[in-house]
Amino acid sequence: MPTALILGASRGIGHEIVRQLRRAATWKVFATARDDAALAALRNEGAEPLKLDVTKPESLAGLGWQLDDEKLDLAIYVAGVYGQGGQATSPPAMEDFDAVMHTNVLGAMQTIPLIAPLVEAAQGKFAFISSGMGSIGEVESSHGWVYRASKAALNMTVRSASLDYPKASFVALCPGWVRTDLGGPNAAISVEESVTGLLRVIAALEHKDSGSFRNYAGRELAW
Protein backbone atom coordinates (compact mmCIF):
# COMPACT_ATOMS: atom_id res chain seq x y z
CA MET A 1 0.00 0.00 0.00
CA PRO A 2 1.49 3.39 -0.99
CA THR A 3 1.93 6.03 1.71
CA ALA A 4 1.05 9.73 1.50
CA LEU A 5 1.65 12.72 3.76
CA ILE A 6 -0.65 15.74 3.45
CA LEU A 7 0.74 18.83 5.17
CA GLY A 8 -2.10 21.20 6.05
CA ALA A 9 -5.22 19.05 5.88
CA SER A 10 -7.54 20.68 8.39
CA ARG A 11 -9.99 21.95 5.76
CA GLY A 12 -10.51 22.85 2.11
CA ILE A 13 -8.13 21.37 -0.45
CA GLY A 14 -5.98 19.50 2.06
CA HIS A 15 -8.93 17.79 3.73
CA GLU A 16 -10.44 16.87 0.36
CA ILE A 17 -7.15 15.33 -0.77
CA VAL A 18 -7.23 13.13 2.32
CA ARG A 19 -10.87 12.20 1.66
CA GLN A 20 -10.25 11.24 -1.97
CA LEU A 21 -7.09 9.24 -1.24
CA ARG A 22 -8.84 7.34 1.55
CA ARG A 23 -11.94 6.81 -0.57
CA ALA A 24 -9.73 5.03 -3.09
CA ALA A 25 -8.90 2.63 -0.23
CA THR A 26 -5.42 2.07 -1.62
CA TRP A 27 -3.48 4.69 0.35
CA LYS A 28 -2.12 4.89 3.85
CA VAL A 29 -2.44 8.60 4.64
CA PHE A 30 -0.72 10.73 7.24
CA ALA A 31 -2.32 14.16 7.54
CA THR A 32 -1.38 17.21 9.60
CA ALA A 33 -3.46 19.86 11.32
CA ARG A 34 -2.95 22.34 14.14
CA ASP A 35 -5.98 21.80 16.38
CA ASP A 36 -7.61 18.84 18.05
CA ALA A 37 -10.98 19.16 16.28
CA ALA A 38 -9.33 19.02 12.86
CA LEU A 39 -7.19 16.07 13.94
CA ALA A 40 -10.32 14.22 15.06
CA ALA A 41 -11.99 14.92 11.70
CA LEU A 42 -8.95 13.53 9.86
CA ARG A 43 -9.03 10.41 12.02
CA ASN A 44 -12.69 9.97 11.05
CA GLU A 45 -11.63 10.02 7.39
CA GLY A 46 -9.29 7.11 8.07
CA ALA A 47 -6.07 9.13 8.09
CA GLU A 48 -3.34 8.95 10.72
CA PRO A 49 -3.44 12.52 12.12
CA LEU A 50 -0.29 14.36 13.13
CA LYS A 51 -0.32 17.65 15.03
CA LEU A 52 1.82 20.22 13.22
CA ASP A 53 2.20 23.96 12.84
CA VAL A 54 4.54 24.60 9.88
CA THR A 55 5.36 28.10 11.16
CA LYS A 56 6.96 26.71 14.34
CA PRO A 57 10.37 25.00 14.03
CA GLU A 58 9.83 23.14 17.30
CA SER A 59 6.63 21.64 15.90
CA LEU A 60 8.37 20.59 12.70
CA ALA A 61 11.18 19.03 14.71
CA GLY A 62 8.72 16.51 16.14
CA LEU A 63 7.40 15.47 12.73
CA GLY A 64 10.39 13.26 11.90
CA TRP A 65 9.97 10.92 14.84
CA GLN A 66 6.20 10.84 14.32
CA LEU A 67 6.77 9.53 10.79
CA ASP A 68 9.38 7.07 12.08
CA ASP A 69 11.36 6.91 8.81
CA GLU A 70 8.34 6.11 6.64
CA LYS A 71 8.97 5.95 2.91
CA LEU A 72 6.60 8.42 1.28
CA ASP A 73 5.27 7.72 -2.18
CA LEU A 74 3.56 11.11 -2.09
CA ALA A 75 3.86 14.27 -0.02
CA ILE A 76 1.74 17.36 -0.62
CA TYR A 77 2.42 20.72 1.03
CA VAL A 78 -0.98 22.42 1.18
CA ALA A 79 -0.50 24.81 4.11
CA GLY A 80 -1.03 28.40 3.05
CA VAL A 81 -2.67 31.70 3.93
CA TYR A 82 -3.84 34.62 1.80
CA GLY A 83 -3.42 37.50 4.23
CA GLN A 84 -4.96 40.93 3.88
CA GLY A 85 -4.71 41.21 0.10
CA GLY A 86 -3.83 44.77 -0.85
CA GLN A 87 -2.00 45.95 -3.93
CA ALA A 88 1.04 47.96 -4.99
CA THR A 89 -0.61 51.33 -4.31
CA SER A 90 0.07 50.92 -0.57
CA PRO A 91 2.69 49.06 1.47
CA PRO A 92 1.72 45.88 3.31
CA ALA A 93 1.62 45.74 7.07
CA MET A 94 4.71 44.01 8.41
CA GLU A 95 2.62 41.60 10.48
CA ASP A 96 0.65 40.52 7.43
CA PHE A 97 3.78 40.14 5.31
CA ASP A 98 5.46 38.02 7.97
CA ALA A 99 2.41 35.78 8.47
CA VAL A 100 2.00 35.07 4.75
CA MET A 101 5.70 34.53 4.05
CA HIS A 102 6.23 32.34 7.11
CA THR A 103 3.43 29.94 6.20
CA ASN A 104 3.67 29.92 2.41
CA VAL A 105 7.45 30.05 1.98
CA LEU A 106 9.43 29.50 5.17
CA GLY A 107 7.18 26.63 6.22
CA ALA A 108 7.84 24.88 2.90
CA MET A 109 11.58 25.59 3.08
CA GLN A 110 11.76 24.16 6.60
CA THR A 111 9.71 21.13 5.62
CA ILE A 112 11.64 20.12 2.50
CA PRO A 113 14.91 18.97 4.17
CA LEU A 114 12.84 16.94 6.62
CA ILE A 115 10.39 15.30 4.21
CA ALA A 116 12.18 15.14 0.83
CA PRO A 117 14.57 12.34 1.93
CA LEU A 118 11.53 10.22 2.85
CA VAL A 119 10.07 10.91 -0.60
CA GLU A 120 13.38 10.10 -2.27
CA ALA A 121 13.53 6.80 -0.38
CA ALA A 122 10.35 5.75 -2.23
CA GLN A 123 11.31 7.56 -5.46
CA GLY A 124 8.04 9.35 -4.89
CA LYS A 125 6.43 12.69 -5.67
CA PHE A 126 6.50 15.91 -3.66
CA ALA A 127 3.79 18.39 -4.66
CA PHE A 128 3.23 21.94 -3.41
CA ILE A 129 -0.03 23.85 -3.70
CA SER A 130 0.94 27.11 -5.36
CA SER A 131 -1.27 29.49 -7.35
CA GLY A 132 -1.56 31.02 -10.78
CA MET A 133 -1.26 34.31 -8.90
CA GLY A 134 2.41 33.39 -8.38
CA SER A 135 3.11 33.26 -12.12
CA ILE A 136 5.26 36.24 -13.13
CA GLY A 137 4.71 35.44 -16.81
CA GLU A 138 0.92 35.55 -16.51
CA VAL A 139 0.44 38.36 -13.97
CA GLU A 140 -2.42 40.75 -14.78
CA SER A 141 -2.64 42.93 -11.67
CA SER A 142 -1.03 43.59 -8.29
CA HIS A 143 -4.15 42.49 -6.39
CA GLY A 144 -3.10 40.33 -3.45
CA TRP A 145 0.53 41.24 -4.04
CA VAL A 146 1.94 39.79 -0.82
CA TYR A 147 0.25 36.48 -1.60
CA ARG A 148 1.50 36.71 -5.21
CA ALA A 149 5.05 37.31 -4.01
CA SER A 150 4.83 34.40 -1.57
CA LYS A 151 3.66 31.96 -4.25
CA ALA A 152 6.34 33.15 -6.70
CA ALA A 153 8.87 32.50 -3.93
CA LEU A 154 7.34 29.08 -3.29
CA ASN A 155 7.70 28.27 -6.99
CA MET A 156 11.40 29.09 -6.84
CA THR A 157 11.67 26.97 -3.70
CA VAL A 158 10.15 23.98 -5.49
CA ARG A 159 12.16 24.43 -8.68
CA SER A 160 15.49 24.79 -6.92
CA ALA A 161 14.84 22.00 -4.39
CA SER A 162 14.11 19.59 -7.23
CA LEU A 163 17.81 19.78 -8.17
CA ASP A 164 18.95 18.64 -4.72
CA TYR A 165 16.64 15.63 -4.54
CA PRO A 166 16.99 13.95 -7.96
CA LYS A 167 15.32 10.68 -6.91
CA ALA A 168 12.06 12.50 -6.12
CA SER A 169 9.70 14.29 -8.51
CA PHE A 170 8.80 17.83 -7.45
CA VAL A 171 5.87 19.84 -8.80
CA ALA A 172 4.20 23.18 -8.02
CA LEU A 173 0.45 23.02 -8.60
CA CYS A 174 -2.20 25.68 -9.16
CA PRO A 175 -5.55 24.35 -7.87
CA GLY A 176 -7.57 26.94 -9.77
CA TRP A 177 -9.96 29.43 -8.22
CA VAL A 178 -11.65 27.14 -5.73
CA ARG A 179 -14.70 27.58 -3.49
CA THR A 180 -12.85 27.35 -0.16
CA ASP A 181 -12.46 29.76 2.75
CA LEU A 182 -9.54 31.29 0.82
CA GLY A 183 -11.19 31.33 -2.62
CA GLY A 184 -14.59 32.48 -1.43
CA PRO A 185 -18.13 31.41 -2.40
CA ASN A 186 -17.99 32.96 -5.89
CA ALA A 187 -14.96 30.97 -7.03
CA ALA A 188 -15.16 29.11 -10.33
CA ILE A 189 -14.78 25.47 -9.28
CA SER A 190 -15.63 23.19 -6.39
CA VAL A 191 -12.98 21.77 -4.10
CA GLU A 192 -13.93 18.26 -5.26
CA GLU A 193 -13.31 19.14 -8.92
CA SER A 194 -10.00 20.84 -8.12
CA VAL A 195 -8.67 17.96 -6.04
CA THR A 196 -9.75 15.36 -8.58
CA GLY A 197 -7.75 17.28 -11.18
CA LEU A 198 -4.74 17.76 -8.93
CA LEU A 199 -4.52 14.07 -8.09
CA ARG A 200 -4.87 13.19 -11.77
CA VAL A 201 -1.98 15.52 -12.64
CA ILE A 202 0.17 14.08 -9.85
CA ALA A 203 -0.56 10.52 -10.95
CA ALA A 204 0.50 11.33 -14.52
CA LEU A 205 3.67 13.16 -13.43
CA GLU A 206 6.84 11.53 -14.77
CA HIS A 207 10.30 11.97 -13.34
CA LYS A 208 11.33 14.09 -16.34
CA ASP A 209 8.64 16.59 -15.28
CA SER A 210 10.27 17.26 -11.89
CA GLY A 211 10.51 20.95 -11.11
CA SER A 212 7.53 21.93 -13.28
CA PHE A 213 4.56 24.24 -12.58
CA ARG A 214 1.12 23.01 -13.64
CA ASN A 215 -2.53 23.69 -12.98
CA TYR A 216 -5.22 21.25 -11.92
CA ALA A 217 -6.10 20.56 -15.56
CA GLY A 218 -2.48 19.67 -16.42
CA ARG A 219 -1.55 22.85 -18.29
CA GLU A 220 2.05 23.90 -17.77
CA LEU A 221 2.16 27.45 -16.40
CA ALA A 222 4.72 30.19 -17.01
CA TRP A 223 7.01 30.91 -14.09
Q: Give the 3-state DSSP-derived string for 207-219, with helices as H, strands as E and coil as C.
A: HHHCCEEEECCCC
Q: Give the rounded distance of the alpha carbon of 8 from its chain centre.
A: 7
Note the pLDDT of residue 177. 78
Note the pLDDT of residue 176. 86
Tell me how far apart the alpha carbons of residues 201 and 193 are, in angstroms, rounded to a whole number: 12
Residue 60's φ and ψ, nearest 5 degrees, are -65, -35
Note the pLDDT of residue 188. 74
Say whether 75 sits in a helix, a strand or coil: strand
Note the pLDDT of residue 106. 97
Note the pLDDT of residue 24. 82
Note the pLDDT of residue 182. 66
Q: Give the rounded distance of the alpha carbon of 104 from its chain centre.
A: 9
Tell me how far apart the alpha carbons of residues 149 and 128 are, in angstroms, rounded to a whole number: 15
**DSSP H helical ranges for 89-142:** 94-101, 107-121
Note the pLDDT of residue 65. 83
Average pLDDT per consecutive 10 residues, the chain (223 residues; last block may be shorter): 96 95 91 96 96 91 86 97 92 96 96 96 98 95 96 98 98 87 73 95 96 96 95
Q: What is the CATH number of domain 3-215?
A: 3.40.50.720
Say whether 181 sits in a helix, a strand or coil: coil
Predicted model pTM: 0.95
Closest CA relative to residue 130, chosen from 96, 171, 166, 164: 171
Closest CA relative to residue 180, chosen from 3, 1, 12: 12
Burial category of 217 from C-beta neighbours within 10 Å (exposed 0-12, middle 13-18, buried 19 and up): middle
